[in-house]
Structure 1
């Protein structure tokens, strides 16, 4: 998680808390070190965010501090509710957990007439959810796309042929059956789609492709009508 996102999440955690929250509890929720949380809280306090407390006793957000208001129409709120419901059908456990957190956060700040949409189950996304991939963490893939980090994977195509690939991931496509990783394949020297359920092993490579992601996505879009299997 990048620092800017982490600072926002810390404010949200403290804003919703009913009692002081320790740095260790915040670090566990955000999956970072306690030392990072101490630095982040010091940074927020330096920005005049009214956080009180200290090591060993926990932190609280002084009453009266508010984030910019979230103004949503009925249609915009319904769009968010349905989009969050659709995430439940993906095999991405990280996104499904994030969807629940978004649901709680928005329900806590929108006016009462809109808040009911997040708890009344009035809108549904039906259908069987996609299975969770066994050999690839989709949260790791999403992080690699953001950070423009290469991935090393063992892949087996539809004919059962096994290959080792180094790829530059640029997008994820979620289908009802599986997720597809869109990437520049260094073996094939072209854009390829890799079905997550055919990946046998995947991990970050010790190399990056900084500054290339946008160009590769543009290349991918240009070739939508002529995409080739991996």
Structure 2
């Protein structure tokens, strides 16, 4: 691995880490000595990175640092392109447009050889009508989650029973066979999961969530035993 590639990998490790990373841990991840890590950190700081170290804890990267030019490996290009193409095809209209804009911005700043690889990426995403139908309410759901507002829904459960619910929408999970909304259900007084294709009516309300969505998400993760990395 070249030193330039190692510096990029070092930055990526910092970006992925939610907690301080020790020099020993960095050295193990990159297959180099701790002395090399110390030199690399000095180099990155000289280039404008805000890498702070604290004895006994490790290093963290401050916000706002980018490494020009924007570079991707072949695998990273395929992952980014497939993900954005998938959202373009299967998301709601607004989210699809945002994904297309994001892909255009990424393409615009890449060097010509990498730009060509985006056009030639071997992975495609295609929409089926059933998936489009399930995604029909995504815009309203995303707006409610962003604004931290309650929603009123009409839901049909697996036994065909219809009910009206007042919910606090938290997060949407995209799975192979369905999209699922996790929310607090006022009727059940508990967290519940609603398949989007079984929500047959959605009405926005002006009622704010009683607690911040971030806090509710943490409570949901704890209730579900989900480890958040």
Shift of 1:82: 2.5
Per-residue CA distance 1:102-151 (angstroms, 9 max, x = gap): 22221122111111132123234579685123695201211211111111
Counterpart in 2 of 1:71? 70
Counterpart in 1 of 2:206? 206
Query: Are the equivalent residues in 1 in contact too, given 2:90–2:135 (CA < 8 A)?
Result: no
Query: Are the equivalent residues in 1 in contact too, given 2:70–2:109 (CA < 8 A)?
Result: no
In structure 2, distance between residues paired with 1:175 and 1:92: 16
Counterpart in 1 of 2:144? 144
Shift of 1:199: 0.8
SS in 1 for 2:90: coil
Structure (1/2) with the larger helix percentage: 2
2:217 aligned with 1:217, yes or no? Answer: yes
In the superposition, the TM-score normalised over structure 1's length comes to 0.60
In structure 2, distance between residues paired with 1:139 and 1:72: 32
Counterpart in 1 of 2:95? 95
For 1:178-193, list aligned pairs within 5 A. 178-193=178-193
Shift of 1:89: 6.1
Counterpart in 1 of 2:59? none
In the superposition, the TM-score normalised over structure 2's length comes to 0.60
For 1:60-139, list aligned pairs within 5 A. 71-74=70-73, 75-88=75-88, 90=90, 92-124=92-124, 131-133=131-133, 136-139=136-139
Shift of 1:187: 0.8
| Runs of 5+ consecutive residues of structure 2 not aligned to the other structure | 1-66
Query: Are the equivalent residues in 1 in contact too, given 2:173–2:180 (CA < 8 A)?
Result: yes
Shift of 1:155: 0.7
In structure 2, distance between residues paired with 1:96 and 1:70: 26
Shift of 1:223: 2.4
Per-residue CA distance 1:24-73 (angstroms, 9 max, x = gap): xxxxxxxxxxxxxxxxxxxxxxxxxxxxxxxxxxxxxxxxxxxx966232
In structure 2, distance between residues paired with 1:177 and 1:133: 13
In structure 1, distance between residues paired with 2:93 and 2:224: 28
In structure 2, distance between residues paired with 1:222 and 1:182: 13
In structure 2, distance between residues paired with 1:140 and 1:129: 19
Q: Cα RMSD (Å) of the superposition?
A: 2.9
1:160–1:87 distance in 2 versus 1, CA, 3 Å:
same
Equivalenced residue count is 160
Larger radius of gyration: 2
